[in-house]
């Protein structure tokens, strides 16, 4: 266990972009939300159909007829204004969390991509591999620790960081709007909605890790094999196959396969599109209830589909080859 922790700490020490880049990205998102909450939204209060309570001092300065006209106008606006229910507020909060999580994880995927193609190549480039090979540490331990960092620690860490970011944003919203008329229009903090959105994010994250494992194995193999220009060696083969197929066969089977291997796991969640109310927004409610989405989410497809385990088997074979290459490379 201590050896595994040392390997993991080594990865974050040698590849600081694994935590520095996501931290900067999360900081920028938080700053943008801060600016929106404290500067943009207050400047638009009273617009876009938001009903605001009249100021008592201003009302006292109006004549009786003007005051009655203002009260009548406000009453009519309230009558036609849709007050969000508690479930709608929970739904808005949950989907705002899912959206912020998606923004963080998509950026993290880019960071992980560059980490995978560089992690085994960089130790040969700077000759640090000679030091690590002098220690009683196996090549399998080194490669598997890199795979664990890329597929487990960083992706699920990004989901947790997104959850913390959402809590910070919720606190800022409470500090700025609590006790104001705007508060009734905004989603309140809900532990249940936060938990449901966390479950959805973790389920989708687990599906993505299992489904994209062969992609990670391929990138590790390219990193252990390439002598230079590892990015080109990782990206050029699939791009060349797509171009050659399109030129000679006038088809896009390879491109479709790559897209399916990257994003096809979403279909395995068996999420009924009707749960998202696609094209059925007959009411003022723009978002489906998070409870409906959760009830439709089915993880069994992730564990019963043969494509998932075939991909895991391919990933294991690719990682095994990467381990052997690291052990016997003559430039090590």
Q: Mark whether 246 and 285 lie in a shared domain.
A: yes
pLDDT digits (tens, 9 = 90+) for 265-307: 877 776 655 555 544 444 444 555 566 666 666 667 777 788 8
3-state secondary structure of 284: coil
**Structure tokens given for 46:** 């009273």
Q: Mark whether 37 and 111 lie in a shared domain.
A: yes
Compute CA distances 316 → 212, 251, 297, 323, whole Å. 12, 30, 28, 10
Q: Mark whether 171 and 268 lie in a shared domain.
A: yes
Q: Mark whether 270 and 194 lie in a shared domain.
A: yes
Q: What is the pLDDT of residue 7?
A: 85
pLDDT digits (tens, 9 = 90+) for 235-252: 999 999 999 999 998 899
Q: What is the pLDDT of residue 157?
A: 93
Q: Mark whether 311 and 236 lie in a shared domain.
A: yes
Domains: count for the chain: 2
Is it the case that residue 327 has pLDDT exceeding 90? no
Q: Mark whether 117 and 241 lie in a shared domain.
A: yes
Neighbours of 222 (CB within 10 A): 23
Q: Mark whether 67 and 202 lie in a shared domain.
A: no
Q: Mark whether 123 and 238 lie in a shared domain.
A: yes
Is it the case that residue 115 has pLDDT exceeding 80? yes
Average pLDDT in the 97-105 region?
A: 86
Q: What is the pLDDT of residue 67?
A: 62
Rounded to an integer, what distance in angstroms lies between the CA atom of residue 101 and that of residue 110?
Answer: 14
**Structure tokens given for 217:** 């194995």
Q: Mark whether 131 and 265 lie in a shared domain.
A: yes
Terminal C-alpha separation, the chain: 27
Q: What is the pLDDT of residue 279?
A: 42
Unique residue bearing structure tokens 């959206």? 99
Q: Mark whether 66 and 166 lie in a shared domain.
A: no
pLDDT digits (tens, 9 = 90+) for 66-78: 666 656 665 655 5
| Contact residues for 94 (Cβ-Cβ < 8 A; gap 6+) | 190, 193, 194, 196, 197, 200, 290
pLDDT digits (tens, 9 = 90+) for 8-37: 898 999 999 999 999 999 999 999 988 888
Q: Mark whether 170 and 74 lie in a shared domain.
A: no
Rounded to an integer, what distance in angstroms lies between the CA atom of residue 126 and that of residue 104?
Answer: 31
| Contact residues for 311 (Cβ-Cβ < 8 A; gap 6+) | 210, 211, 213, 214, 261
Which residues span the domain enclosing 72?
A: 52-81
Q: What is the pLDDT of residue 24?
A: 94
pLDDT digits (tens, 9 = 90+) for 153-201: 999 999 999 988 988 888 888 888 776 666 666 666 677 777 877 887 8
Is it the case that residue 106 has pLDDT exceeding 60? yes
Task: Please state the φ and ψ torsions of residue 127, each to the nearest 5 degrees.
Answer: 65, 15
Average pLDDT in the 211-225 region?
A: 94
| Contact residues for 7 (Cβ-Cβ < 8 A; gap 6+) | 137, 141, 142, 145
Q: What is the pLDDT of residue 283?
A: 44
Q: What is the pLDDT of residue 297?
A: 66
Q: Mark whether 131 and 66 lie in a shared domain.
A: no
**Structure tokens given for 170:** 């919720």
Residue 322: name the closest of 223, 177, 192 by CA.
223
**Structure tokens given for 7:** 């390997």
Residue 215: name the closest of 181, 165, 264, 250 by CA.
264
pLDDT digits (tens, 9 = 90+) for 303-324: 778 888 999 999 999 999 999 9
Unique residue bearing structure tokens 């959850």? 163
Q: Look at the pTM and tell me if it is higher than 0.75.
A: yes
């Amino acid at each position: 266990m201590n050896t595994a922790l040392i390997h993991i700490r080594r990865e974050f020490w040698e590849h600081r972009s694994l935590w520095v880049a996501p931290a900067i990205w999360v900081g920028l998102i938080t700053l943008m939300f801060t600016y929106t909450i404290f500067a943009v939204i207050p400047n638009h209060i009273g617009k876009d159909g938001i009903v605001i309570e009249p100021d008592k001092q201003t009302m006292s300065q109006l004549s009786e007829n003007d005051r009655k006209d203002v009260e009548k106008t406000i009453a009519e606006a309230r009558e036609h204004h849709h007050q969000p229910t508690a479930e709608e507020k929970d739904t808005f909060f949950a989907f705002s969390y899912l959206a912020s999580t998606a923004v963080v994880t998509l950026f993290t995927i880019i960071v992980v991509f560059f980490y995978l193609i560089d992690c085994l190549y960089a130790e040969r480039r700077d000759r640090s591999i000679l030091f690590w090979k002098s220690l009683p540490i196996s090549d399998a331990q080194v490669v598997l620790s890199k795979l664990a960092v890329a597929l487990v620690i960083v992706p699920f860490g990004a989901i947790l960081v997104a959850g913390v970011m959402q809590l910070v944003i919720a606190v800022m919203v409470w500090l700025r709007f609590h006790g104001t008329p705007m508060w009734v229009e905004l989603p309140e903090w809900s532990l249940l909605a936060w938990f449901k959105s966390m479950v959805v994010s973790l389920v989708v994250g687990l599906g993505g890790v299992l489904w994209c494992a062969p992609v990670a194995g391929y990138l590790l193999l390219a990193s252990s094999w390439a002598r230079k220009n590892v990015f080109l060696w990782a990206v050029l083969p699939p791009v060349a196959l797509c171009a050659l197929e399109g030129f000679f066969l006038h088809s896009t089977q390879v491109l479709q396969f790559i897209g399916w291997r990257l994003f096809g796991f979403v279909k395995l969640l068996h999420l009924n599109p009707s749960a998202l109310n696609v094209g059925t927004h007959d009411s003022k409610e723009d978002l489906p209830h998070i409870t409906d989405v959760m009830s439709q989410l089915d993880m069994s497809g992730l564990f019963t589909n043969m494509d998932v385990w075939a991909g895991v088997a391919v990933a294991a074979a690719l990682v095994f080859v990467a381990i052997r290459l690291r052990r016997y490379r003559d430039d090590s």
